[in-house]
Structure 1
């Protein structure tokens, strides 16, 4: 299943980058539903419909309007969710856990649809102002993240003796982080050099470092959320791999980081 999905993603990026938008548009509500279901099981009142619809707006408005469309749709989604939660509990009733539930809702809206929309922005030239697609930036992201995972796993297994945050993720070690940095930064430099013509090779240095740190922190954040909710996996949509969010926890914020780095260091 994992290889099939990977093949579909690579095929879409190589032969029809516009399908990347369709794939992310389909993945967004699935991942959103996984998190909403788990939050509700934990006692949070988090709306699915406005977040899912807002996610589609962020994805599709990124095409004609770039970051303006994405951030505009994000802001509108947060406002709608605030009103939705207020009306849902009844205007004549005393608010119960409103701030807590809205904080969880905003976190969800950032974590899934907003970061997913940055994954769409990566395939556009000039921040979406034109309609020309490119897959180089996405491949840079994926190549660096995969090598980072390989380096972290290898170094952790062979040399890992000092846990980073044992209370949250016992398997993560400082040696593993060093391996992730070595492989991830090397992969980012190679990817930028060969996949992004016209870019300076050194752009891969900050890109690689930030991707490794973002991926590591993303894993730790989801691990902490799972511990708070008392669960092992976010979902069951990917047999043998847990849910979609169990695979995307580090990739989603990494997409936003990649876009920011490549936009600033143009």
Structure 2
């Protein structure tokens, strides 16, 4: 018995029609063919979905600058199917400027002491007990030298200037500059001596000779980086010994002790008034990218404190007009704040937190000279105008 030949396709294409109900599919289909009577293969499990990383809770205050540890690329050998690690927000940040932002930006707790107990730090991020003790010690040295023998204060200023130059040039070297230090140190001694003996003209002449010596000294190291290094050295000579020379000029007149004490007391009142007002009322940042802890309320406290002490000093000590005291107080508040912000800007540019570590709770000596240096020049000029000798 012979079987009948297959019937032709009515459509005339000659293809065998697809029999989907029987479980058979065309070879061109993506799904594999399953024949009748065969057990289908189990479905392939879908790849696991990556769990979304947890976002850390928002933190009040300035944001962290830089990358986090969990932003690093995957370790060698980790395949594309490796499950991502959840971010618990506990990884320490990598700041673009190491330690320059302090605990308010990095989120790191205060460094523990060797005994294990955390240091007592205030909102300023400093060891307040050490800072107050060192500040009182420095004030005692200044007052004692002024009251006992005036040339002794000149010696104290000269030593402070030399230490500050070493700290500032060291910080610049860590930032890639190479300012010649020797001519600046020698020129600083000359500026202090000539300011005491020759007055303003002697200070200016000594500064110009220092600049000339720096330019000649740097020639010995060749042309590479000459402009960079020479400019840095001239900046140091202008910033530290030249401005400190105005404190020596304040000391020269017969009432020089009173003028120096008035200048230092007004700068201290600016710092204290700004700190107190900033801690109690500070809400609006004055310069967030430079010094996140300074606020407009703190600056107002500095101005108020300087105006009060300046008016009392000018009218009662130097017998000048009251408006001269107001002008003197406002000028010192502005220059003290600008001096502090200026040094903070330099430290952020260099990527450091402090200029040194000589003074516990303060950093380096240069960190205490920042407000005094520009204020010395302004105090000399304003007091010479409102309370001439």
Q: Same fold (TM over 0.5)?
A: yes
Aligned counterpart, 1:7: 140
Q: 1:246 aligns with which of 340, 361, 367?
A: 367
- TM-score calculated relative to the size of structure 2: 0.63
Work out which structure has the larger RCO, using CA pairs closer than 8 Å and 6 or more positions apart in sequence. Answer: 1
* Mapped partners of 2:266, 2:137: distance in 1: 20
SS of residue matched to 2:293: strand
Aligned counterpart, 1:211: 332
* Mapped partners of 1:108, 1:141: distance in 2: 23
The one-character-per-residue Cα deviations of 1:52-107 (angstroms, maximum 9, x if unpaired) are 000000001112210111000000000110111122x23xxxx2232222222121
**Structure with larger Rg:** 2
Aligned counterpart, 1:52: 185
Aligned counterpart, 1:43: 176
Higher mean displacement: 233-242 or 70-79: 233-242
Aligned counterpart, 1:142: 264
- The CA RMSD over aligned residues, in Å, is 1.3
The one-character-per-residue Cα deviations of 1:150-198 (angstroms, maximum 9, x if unpaired) are 21111111111110110110001111111111111111111222332x4
Q: Is the 8 A contact 1:137 1:195 kept in 2?
A: no
Aligned counterpart, 2:95: none
* Mapped partners of 1:15, 1:174: distance in 2: 40
The one-character-per-residue Cα deviations of 1:22-45 (angstroms, maximum 9, x if unpaired) are 111111111100001111111101
Aligned counterpart, 1:236: 357
Higher mean displacement: 14-23 or 36-45: 14-23
Higher helix share: 1
Aligned counterpart, 2:323: 202
Q: Is the 8 A contact 1:188 1:204 kept in 2?
A: yes
The total of aligned residue pairs comes to: 254
* Mapped partners of 1:183, 1:80: distance in 2: 42
Aligned counterpart, 1:119: 247
Q: 1:82 aligns with which of 215, 231, 236?
A: 215
Aligned counterpart, 2:228: 100
State the 1:206 CA deviation.
Answer: 1.4
* Mapped partners of 1:37, 1:55: distance in 2: 16
Q: How does 1:142-161 map to 2 (within 5 A)?
A: 142-161=264-283
Aligned counterpart, 2:381: 260
* Mapped partners of 1:133, 1:69: distance in 2: 20
Q: Is the 8 A contact 1:215 1:254 kept in 2?
A: yes
Q: 1:179 aligns with which of 301, 307, 316?
A: 301
- TM-score calculated relative to the size of structure 1: 0.91
* Mapped partners of 2:321, 2:146: distance in 1: 23
SS of residue matched to 1:135: helix
Unaligned 5+ runs, structure 1: 126-131
